[in-house]
Copies of this chain bind each other. A is one copy, B any other.
Amino acid sequence: MVDLKQVRFLLIGAGNVGRRFLGLVARKEQVLRERAGLQLVLSGVADSSGIAANPEGLDLEWILALKAGGRGVAEIPDWGQPGVAALDMVRGVPVDLLVDASPANMLDGQPGLGCIELAISQGTDVVTANKAPLALAFSRLDELARAHGARLRFDATVAGGLPAVNLGRRDLAVADVHRIEGILNLTTNYILTRMAAEGLGFDEALSKAQQEGHAEADPSLDLEGWDAANKLIILAHSVLRYPASLDDVEVEGIGGVTPQALREAAANGQQIKPLAVAEREDQGYRLWVRPVALDAAHPLASLGPQQMGIVYHTDISGVITAAIVEDTPQPTASAVLRDVVELYGRAAGGTP
């Protein structure tokens, strides 16, 4: 393979998505070389235990085995540094790319936000799967990136492995999108869909979601609609060029949806789905998240419990719908890798 490009990166967050991303980097090493001309080198990783850093590259299998054993990266011999903060790693280890897979902290976006700001201000590209920093500070991060010539990619932040952001910001770049409808949160769609299909009560459906890893221990952000609202904000900035903030989103959770309401909807040939919508208004867009009864013909009405989807209503590209079946966080991790390949790889498929 001619001219192999080496990309050194830091990873913050070694949980569901971060670990799977490292797993994909290992599993796809040859494909990355052959199809994209890329060699990805992990120069540092941070989790709650501290960091492990080696500019020359850490052993991915070592880290994956360690995390599989429930231990922290700070325990890695030679390179582990217990208690050191991710921010210090970003400051101290020069790389091409920062990958943020840290937990979404809606209070202040930390530690992701600080790490992303520092990386960008150092001219380092960023690929993030973490919604919070973007939902809280998209415009500031965008301007910072332009000012420092860094690139920020975030396809993994909306609808998991579905290239919802890419489709909107790239394939619809010169189209005018007057309406976006999305089922952007898996947990709430899973719960409502199983309640409707199996007549389960809310609590029962929730516990099943938690058992199967489709809901977190504290699912309040999902259930109350704020996770979907975050994603809507990211779409508003990146696809609609509409600089909205969370305060601009009318948010209603799914807590009020009763089995009876689901039965009545079904009797009318409808499905109640957790919808996130951006619709053109005179001055901009109206943004809202709430459960809505969709007619059977609606492209999102038939989405199953493990699906997310989006509909773009455009002026010149028709109405485009995209949906994904995502039964683990792996597709989300693959969206992080997709962004990395877009930033550094040779164009894949067809000609250069």
A317 at the interface (CB under 8 A from B): yes
Report how many copies the assembly holds.
2
B173 touches A341 (CB 8 A): yes
Cβ proximity bits A337-350 to B, threshold 8 Å, 1 near / 0 not: 11001100101111
> Which chain B residues border A175 with CB–CB below 8 Å?
334
Residues 309 to 351 of chain A near chain B (Cβ within 8 Å): 314, 316-327, 330-331, 333-335, 337-338, 341-342, 345, 347-351
Task: Decide if B317 touches A320 in the complex (CB within 8 Å).
Answer: no
Stretch at the interface among A82-90, A97-105, A162-170, A221-229: A162-170
**A302 sits at the interface (CB 8 A):** yes
| 8 Å CB contact of A28 from B24, B28, B174 | B174
Which residues of B are found within 8 Å of A350, using beta-carbon distances? 142, 152-154, 165, 169, 237-238
Q: Evaluate contact between B325 and A318: CB separation under 8 angstroms.
A: yes
Closest B residue to A171 by beta carbon equals: B163
Residues of B within 8 A of A325 (CB): 318-319
Q: A-side binding surface: helix, strand, loop or mixed? A: mixed
A324 to chain B, nearest CB (A): 5
A86→B321 CA distance, assembly (Å): 37
Using Cβ atoms and an 8 Å threshold, which residues of chain B touch A172?
A: 338
Contact with B along A18-33 (1 / 0, CB 8 A): 0000001001100110
A151 CB contacts on chain B under 8 angstroms: 347, 351-352
Q: For residue A35, which residues in chain B have a CB less than 8 angstroms away from its CB?
A: 173-174
Residues of chain B contacted by A10 (CB below 8 angstroms): none
Partner of A324, one of B302, B319, B323, B342: B319
- Cross-chain pairs A/B with CB under 8 angstroms, 7 sampled: A35-B173, A145-B351, A160-B318, A170-B347, A173-B348, A297-B302, A314-B334
B residues in contact with A323, CB < 8 Å: 299, 320-322
Beyond contacts A27-B316, A145-B351, A320-B324: 17 other A-B pairs, Cβ-Cβ < 8 A, are: A31-B176, A36-B173, A160-B318, A162-B320, A163-B167, A171-B338, A172-B338, A173-B341, A174-B337, A238-B350, A316-B337, A317-B334, A318-B327, A318-B330, A319-B325, A321-B323, A322-B323
Find A335's partner among B155, B317, B348, B352 (CB 8 Å cutoff): B317
Taking the nearest CB of chain B, how far is it from the CB of A176, in angstroms? 8
Instruction: Pick the residue among B170, B237, B318, B327 that contacts A342 (CB under 8 A).
Output: B170
Contact B351 A174 (CB under 8 A): no
Q: Are A320 and B169 in contact (CB under 8 A)?
A: no
Within 8 A of B (CB), among A124-164: 142, 145-146, 149-155, 160-163
Contact check, B351 vs A331: say whether CB atoms are below 8 A apart: no
Query: With A and B bound together, what is the CA distance between A345 and B302 in angstroms?
Result: 37
Is the C-beta of A5 less than 8 angstroms from some C-beta in chain B?
Answer: no
CA distance A116 to B245 in the complex (A): 47
